[in-house]
Amino acid sequence: MQSEANVKERLNLYINGRWVEPVGKGTVKVVNPCSEEAIATIAMGNEEDVDRAVSAAREAFPAWSRTTVAERAALMARISSAMAARQNEIGDTIAAEMGMPAPWSRMIQAGLPIATLNSFVPILENYPFEYDMGRTRIVKEAIGVCGFITPWNYPLHQIIGKVAPALAAGCTMVLKPSQLAPLNAFILAEILEKAGLPPGVFNLVSGAGSRVGQAIASHPEIDMVSLTGSTQSGILVARAAAQTIKRVTLELGGKSPNVLLKDADFPVAVRKGVHQCYLNSGQTCTALSRMIVPAEKQEDVVVLAREAAESMVMGDAFADGVFLGPMVDRQQQQSVRAYIETGIREGATLVTGGPEQPDYLPKGFFVRPTVFSNVRTDMVIAREEIFGPVLCILPYRSEEEAIEIANDSVYGLSGSVWSGDIERARSAAKRIRSGQVFINGADFDIDAPAGGYKQSGIGRERSKYGLEEYLEIKAVIGHNPA
């Protein structure tokens, strides 16, 4: 297990290229969810700190937005290299603050942000910021000062998902990371400073969503706000942002379907489906938490799902062979356990798991990997985002019913289809109302746009479509004088 004595306290904010004492005098402890012990103390900024950060970003914007594509691309490449040099440190820091097992954290929590940043260098270098359309010149310009509010489940990945396209576009920014997993954001600020990012382009104000997040969303000098979080948080941010008619992008909740058509390879599909549901202990917006299976195959699926769930090792983030870590905090643990109890009361069949603390893990915010079968679409566990290691198996009797069940949700973030016939799978995928659909267990694609339909959000991240969220479109109309 990692030594916790070497985790630094973070009592300053990063504003205008300097580490400064916050106006807000509050602090909060960062707790390791495996041990339930405090591992760091961070500063809690306030509205005045947001004002200072926004002023710095506003002052830096004219010069930064006029930098060349080559200058921005070179700086982003330097930042990516500096992140790669600290990849293991970043991964272990996130493992300690939110509980993902360290090997996975190094690969995913640290590796994905590096890959995302790298992916925007060629996008930036090849993007047409100006082109002619008849006698009109179309000009794409940076939108301005951006406010970012990010979550704890993939903390740095979600930060870079916003920072990378904003830097590429020529925007400046103010970030409020989650107070549950903020330490990685401070490491990023150190990296940006060392890489030579001009003062004021990136500013970090840690604090509570109710104060710092609200101040960012409502600030009249912020041109755009981007949130990744719960749907309820998205509603609050959108309402606050509406007062100043700023652009809003939201990546929110999900209840993603995993449709196994009758000709699927069930042993492979079920094992991978359980893995994709439980990755990061189910604390993933795109988790495939609804496995939709032929009714006549449900009992076979149950056997396969139970075997897969019960084979997964749960424990401390720094113990060998662990796949499942804890929930991020006690509140999340209690929430997930309450959903499991609700599923039992609703009459779903508890295949494995349950709400009890694992016997061999008396300390830590752990939840047993849980599988329910015979789940109906009207059950709470089939409709609400649980955000924990809970899989619901729902039976269908026809392919049309399978698609209906998949779309019977207020969410539309991701999904999956399995079939022995690729064209049949693609046909089903086109009928699923979600921003992404994976076919036959396809791997994550860093270059694919990500975002949601319905209450899963507004806008896209990654790819050129993510870059365009940070650009305004100007039409310059005219011609040379005669």
Q: How far from 221 is each of 12, 204, 418, 441, CA to CA, in Å? A: 23, 16, 47, 44
Q: Are residues 195 and 209 in the same domain?
A: yes
Residues recognised as catalytic: 251, 285
Conformational region of residue 142, where left means phi above 0, alpha means psi within -120 to 50, and beta covers everything else: beta
What is the CATH number for 100? 3.40.605.10
Q: Are residues 58 and 181 in the same domain?
A: yes
pLDDT value at position 2? 41
- pTM for this model (two decimals): 0.96
pLDDT value at position 6? 54
Q: At what angle do helices 69-85 and 111-126 cross, to 10 degrees?
A: 170
Q: Are residues 244 and 268 in the same domain?
A: no
pLDDT value at position 482? 64
Determine, yes or no, domain membership for 5.
Answer: no
Q: Are residues 271 and 419 in the same domain?
A: yes
Determine, yes or no, domain membership for 341.
Answer: yes
The dihedrals phi and psi of 97, each to the nearest 5 degrees, come to: -90, -25
Number of domains within the chain: 2
pLDDT value at position 1? 41
What is the CATH number for 307? 3.40.309.10
Q: Are residues 58 and 148 in the same domain?
A: yes
Long-range CB contacts for residues 275-278, cutoff 8 Å, separation at least 24: 275/308, 276/416, 276/441, 277/389, 277/390, 277/391, 278/309, 278/312, 278/323, 278/324, 278/369, 278/389, 278/391
**Domain span including residue 148:** 13-252+456-475
pLDDT value at position 88? 98
Determine, yes or no, domain membership for 183.
Answer: yes
Q: Are residues 284 and 220 in the same domain?
A: no
Determine, yes or no, domain membership for 310.
Answer: yes
Determine, yes or no, domain membership for 1.
Answer: no
Q: Are residues 216 and 347 in the same domain?
A: no
Q: Which residues contact 311 (CB under 8 A, 6 or more apart)?
A: none
Running along the chain, 482 residues long, what does each successive block of 10 average in pLDDT?
59 98 95 97 97 98 98 97 98 98 98 97 98 95 98 98 98 98 98 97 96 97 97 96 97 97 98 98 98 98 98 97 98 98 98 96 97 98 98 98 98 98 98 98 96 97 97 92 68
pLDDT value at position 481? 73
Q: Are residues 331 and 396 in the same domain?
A: yes
